[in-house]
Amino acid sequence: MKAYALLGGPTELWPEDIEEKLAQADLVIGVDRGALFLEELGIIPDVAVGDFDSLHENDLSQIESNVQDIRYSNPVKDWTDSELMLQIAFEDYHVDELVIFGATGGRLDHFLINLLMLLNPEMRLYAKKVTLIDQQNLICFFNAGTHVVQKRKNYSYIGFAALKAIEDFNIIGARYELKHYSGNYPRVFSSNEFLPNSNEFRISLQNGMIAAIYSKDINRFHDL
C-alpha cells in the first residue's frame, strides 16, 4: 500500500505533479494545515493528524465532518505531528511506502523536524520506506548496510548527508567516489552525479543514517 502525506509547508514548494501523484494514492494523510490544503484541492484525506491550532474554526469543522479518521495531537507532547503521522501510517495502516509533500521551506525548525524525524530510534526502521519530495528535491533515507542508489528521472545531482555520526561510509561507482569516511558530526557530500550511461551506484555504511538528496536546478524568475 502506497501512502501520500501532505504537511503544512509552503504550497509554492509543491512538486508540479502533486495532484496527479495524490490521485494514485492508496491512502492520503493530511497533517495539520496539510489536511486543509487537501480539501482545497478537492481531496478528502483518509486520515488527518495534528493539533490543528493554526486552522480557523470553520476549516476545522469541515475537516471534522469529512474525514473518517482524525487524530488529535497534544501540543505539549513528546512526539511531533510528523512522528505521529509516521506511527499511524506504518503501525496502524501498515503502508509499504510513504511519500511526503509540504515538508520543506517556510519555518526551518519545521523542516528540520521532518528531515531528522527518522533518527528517532522508534522511527528508524521506517527510514527506507519514506521519501520527501518538493519542487526541486527528492530525499530518501538509508540506514546501515549496503544499498543500490537508483538514478531518478529529471534530477541532475545527488548529494549525501550524514544525519548523525557515521562509520565507514563509502560511495562506489558514482562520479565522485568516497572511501571509508567516518565522522562524529553531520556532514554533507554534495553535487555527486551518476556516471554516463549508468543508472545506479552503491553506497555502504557501517553505522549512522544517510539522507540521499536528489536535486535539480530550476529556472526562477527573480525580480531585482
Those residues whose C-beta lies under 8 Å from the C-beta of residue 21, and which sit 6 or more positions away, are 4, 15, 99, 101
Number of residues near a copy of itself (by CB under 8 A): 46
φ/ψ (deg, to 5) at 23: -65, -20
- Asked if residues 108 and 139 have their Cβ atoms less than 8 Å apart, the reply is no
Per CB under 8 A, 153 contacts a copy of itself:
no
Cell output for 101: 509533500
Stretch that binds a copy of itself, among 10-18, 22-30, 65-73, 146-154 (CB under 8 A): 10-18
The gap between the terminal CA atoms of the chain, to the nearest Å, is 46
Smallest gap, in angstroms, from Cβ of residue 53 to a copy of itself?
Answer: 10
DSSP code at position 86: H
- Asked if residues 128 and 200 have their Cβ atoms less than 8 Å apart, the reply is no
Closer CB to a copy of itself, 159 or 173, in the complex: 159
Stretch that binds a copy of itself, among 66-74, 93-101, 107-115, 145-153 (CB under 8 A): 107-115
Assign 159 to helix, strand or coil. Answer: strand
Closer CB to a copy of itself, 95 or 213, in the complex: 213
Per CB under 8 A, 108 contacts a copy of itself:
yes
- Asked if residues 87 and 5 have their Cβ atoms less than 8 Å apart, the reply is no
- Pattern 47-76, a copy of itself, x by CB under 8 A: -----------------------------x
Per CB under 8 A, 109 contacts a copy of itself:
yes
Which residues from 166-195 bind a copy of itself, rule CB under 8 A?
A: 176, 184-188, 190-191
Per CB under 8 A, 222 contacts a copy of itself:
yes
Alpha carbons 10 and 162: distance in angstroms, whole number: 26
| CB-neighbour burial class of residue 210 (10 A; exposed 0-12, middle 13-18, buried 19+) | buried
Cell output for 122: 522508534
Alpha carbons 149 and 205: distance in angstroms, whole number: 13
- Asked if residues 180 and 125 have their Cβ atoms less than 8 Å apart, the reply is no
Smallest gap, in angstroms, from Cβ of residue 202 to a copy of itself?
Answer: 19
Closer CB to a copy of itself, 106 or 173, in the complex: 106
Per CB under 8 A, 31 contacts a copy of itself:
no
Per CB under 8 A, 217 contacts a copy of itself:
yes
Contacting residues toward a copy of itself, per CB under 8 A = 10-12, 37, 40-41, 76, 80, 104-110, 112-113, 116, 119-120, 134, 136-137, 139, 157, 159, 161, 163-165, 176, 184-188, 190-191, 213, 215-217, 220, 222-224
